[in-house]
Amino acid sequence: MTAEYRREIDGLRGIAVTSVILFHADLEVFSGGFVGVDVFFVISGYLISAILMRELAEGRFSFADFYERRARRILPALAVVIACTIPFAWLWLLPLEMKDFSQSIAAAALSVSNILFWLESDYFDTATNLKPLLHTWSLGVEEQFYLLFPPALLLLWRWPLNRRALAIGLAALASFGLCLVTVGAAPSAAFYLLPFRAWELMAGTLCALWHFRYGRRTSAPLALAGLAALLVSVFTFDKATPFPSAYALLPVAGSCLILTCADTRGLAGRLLAAPPCVGIGVISYSAYLWHQPLLAFGRIYAPDSLSQAELLALASASLPLAFLSWRFVEQPFRARGRSSGRSYFPKALRRTRGRVISLSAATLALAVGFGLWGHIEGGHPSRYTAAQTTFLKTHEWPRRCLFTRLEPLRQLPNAACRFAPRSAPSRGRVALVGDSVMSSLSPAMISYFTARGYEVEQFTHSHCTLTRRHRVNSIDAAACPGFIARVVDYIATEGFDLVITAGAFQGMVKNGVPTLLRTDGAPATRESLALDFRETVTSVAARLLLISPPPRPAVNVRDRAVRELRTHGTQSDYSIDAALYARQVGEIESLFDLALPKGALRIDPGETFCTGGTCHFLHAGAPLLADRTHFTRAGAEHAILPLIDRALRDTDLLSWAN
């Protein structure tokens, strides 16, 4: 097996990185462009495995050489990009964002970004668009794989080739099986973590084994089928596609067919070997590194959503920057001291292995140190003025008595979440039940009811709504059915006059189908969810007041307000069209029509958010939402309490003190 340059592989890289960049630029036609990362995994597994096999066969494999090459390949360009992002982060990021950014620098340097981002959020959440180093998660997966794979391959090398292939194939199947099992229960883990992604890299390894055993055996029809499979994935998959899952087989198999069967004599090979594809493929690593910071900081700086043209302009800017970093950083550092064009780095730092190790260690130490500094300092809030800091703290959303998977509700009753009336005796009992949205409303409601002589108890848990047989598709919601069952039994036993519930209801039903999971494993339906909700509500044996979801903005309202003050010196109104709001809540409101029992009350926040066909998110300079979902105290008092007061007075449900 001899080394040879294959233009079509660089062309495949070009297609992959272009797909990823245009997906992150929100170009709708590239709705499945995220599969470009899967293509990179296959290519990487193929090329690195081919090199390792060749060196092992020739008896010249060295761990030191291998990891030196990885350091030269990965670290210099990554360090330059990170260094360039720090000034913009310092100027524009909010304290919590700066803390997260600092942590991501340390994680990227230590090749554990994938673990960090798995712990933080979901890849397809809009907030991830604002993470400048989100894309380094894939580097973490690769580097973790290459920490384990060379020693494993060295051990397998003593076996006959067929047994080697069988062992790697079984390991790939095990990883794929884990992926299929996990993607439904913990989709973020399946997306980010190595055990569920390793099969894609090992698919490339199996392609390299095939060539090692049989040499190049091309097939133009199979290569064309592989290219077609890849393009179908790019143009038909979208954010709703469960991924990675069996769907990932399409781009992975397509990439394998191209790697094993394509050459420049066939149509697929000629298309991939075209100069534009190859040119972008050659600089693909640097292009991948640059595109996410450009798009993230563009979105951060702009007060509102960027236009498609602006996003494409930022995405396009990644290419000239990629060429510069490829030419003056990547190439010289990979050259091991040979003349390879001009570099702004001293040759003494890149000539010998010892100096490469020293430079790598220094780079890692600086990155980790900066990350720890930002973490300890809480994102350097001193960068903000006193007025800006006060604005941020005032309009945080409250988290009191919000239980989570890691901090569960231990017992009922919970004295810390029971609030006595301001005057005795108590005139009744009110229960506040729901998820973090209910938690954000609770302090204002507690003040409202206790001032009127009512005892209030708060039962809020992250991701939990009033259902006992359905839950949100997140590991953080795994405890929700049990939590709600305990709370409902407690409320029914103790006797309450009113139960108020709110939640992040938007998106729970899409195209007529619930996005929730059923606890019995059966597919969730609109009817099953409605029945579960109605039966759960009926079990509390108290009158229900449901707070429908408010308008959902495209930006984080509080952060937009303070960022605009910091970067532009002014604060402007922010609004969306009321017709958009109607579309946002149409399906869940239709479900509530079906699910709510007779006598239940429902209030519509649109009455206070929206006037004259427009929904506003600021009132007297104060944001009504702390982000895109949770209420500020000002939002609860201005947009929700007046509606509750009117609903209760109109129904004469509770007797109010005058």
pLDDT digits (tens, 9 = 90+) for 358-375: 887 888 899 999 999 999
pTM above 0.85, yes or no: no
In a domain, 2, yes or no: no
Answer whether residue 220 shows pLDDT above 50: yes
In a domain, 464, yes or no: yes
Q: Are residues 372 and 450 in the same domain?
A: no
State the burial class of residue 168 (Cβ atoms within 10 Å of its Cβ: 0-12, 13-18, 19+): buried
Mean pLDDT of 208-231: 92
Residues 353 and 419 in one domain: no
Out of 383, 408, 442, a domain closes at 383
Q: pLDDT tens for residues 380-392?
A: 999 988 888 888 8
Domain boundary pick from 383, 407, 436: 383
Give the pLDDT score at 340: 43
Q: Which domain holds residue 429?
A: 393-651
Whether residues 415 and 368 share a domain: the answer is no
Please, what's the b/e burial string for 472-502 (b: 16 or more CB within 10 A of its CB; e: otherwise)? Answer: bbbebbbbbbbbbebbbebbeeeebbbbbbb
**pLDDT for residue 406:** 84
Q: Please state which of the ranges 10-14, 354-358, 582-586 shows the lowest mean pLDDT.
A: 354-358
Half-sphere exposure of 298 (CA within 13 A, CB side): 22
Higher-confidence residue of 578 and 215: namely 578
Residue 343: its pLDDT value, please? 47
Same domain, 363 and 461: no
Answer yes or no: do 375 and 414 share one domain. no
Percentage of residues of the chain with pLDDT beyond 90:
72
Domain for residue 388, yes or no?
Answer: no
Exposure on the CB side of residue 305, measured as CA atoms within 13 A: 11
Domain shared by 433 and 535, yes or no: yes
- Does 505 fall in a domain? yes
Strands (E), 153-253: none
CA distance to 214, 259, 264, 327, per residue, from 220 (Å): 17, 12, 9, 34
Give the C-alpha separation, 534 to 386, whole Å: 48
pLDDT tens digit string along 32-75?
999 999 999 999 999 999 999 999 999 999 999 999 899 889 99
Q: Are residues 334 and 415 in the same domain?
A: no
**1 inside domain:** no
Which of 364, 383, 402 terminates a domain? The answer is: 383
Q: How far apart are CA 69 and CA 9, in angstroms?
A: 20
If asked whether residues 348 and 464 sit together in one domain, one would say no
For residues 199 and 207, the answer to whether their CB atoms sit within 8 Å is no
**Residue 201 located in a structural domain:** yes
Cα 100 to Cα 117: distance, rounded to the nearest angstrom = 10
- Other CB atoms within 10 Å distance of the CB of residue 30: 22
433-453 tens-digit pLDDT: 999 999 999 999 999 999 999
Per-residue pLDDT band at 347 (split at 50, 70, 90): low
Q: What is the CA radius of gyration of the chain?
A: 28
The predicted pLDDT at position 1 comes to 47
Residue 450 lies in a domain: yes
Q: What is the pLDDT of residue 657?
A: 38
Q: Is 4:215 a contact under the CB 8 Å cutoff? A: no
Tokens representing 186?
Answer: 């913990």
**C-alpha to C-alpha distance for 107 and 121, rounded to whole angstroms:** 15
Is 65 found in the same domain as 86? yes
Indicate whether 284 and 378 sit together in one domain. yes
Would residue 28 count as lying in a domain? yes
Cα–Cα distance measured from residue 93 to residue 132, given in angstroms and rounded to the nearest whole number: 10
State the total domains in the chain: 2
Quick one: pLDDT band at residue 2, thresholds 50, 70, 90? low
User: Above 90 in pLDDT, residue 336?
Assistant: no
pLDDT greater at residue 403 or residue 571? 403
**Do 267 and 297 sit in the same domain of this protein?**
yes
Per-residue pLDDT band for 231 (boundaries 50, 70, 90) equals very high
Separation of alpha carbons 26 and 198, rounded Å: 28
Q: What Cα–Cα distance (Å) separates residue 182 from each residue in 173, 191, 275, 621?
A: 14, 9, 40, 45
Q: Are residues 365 and 504 in the same domain?
A: no
Residue 398's CATH number: 3.40.50.1110
Residues 560-572: what's their mean pLDDT?
Answer: 81
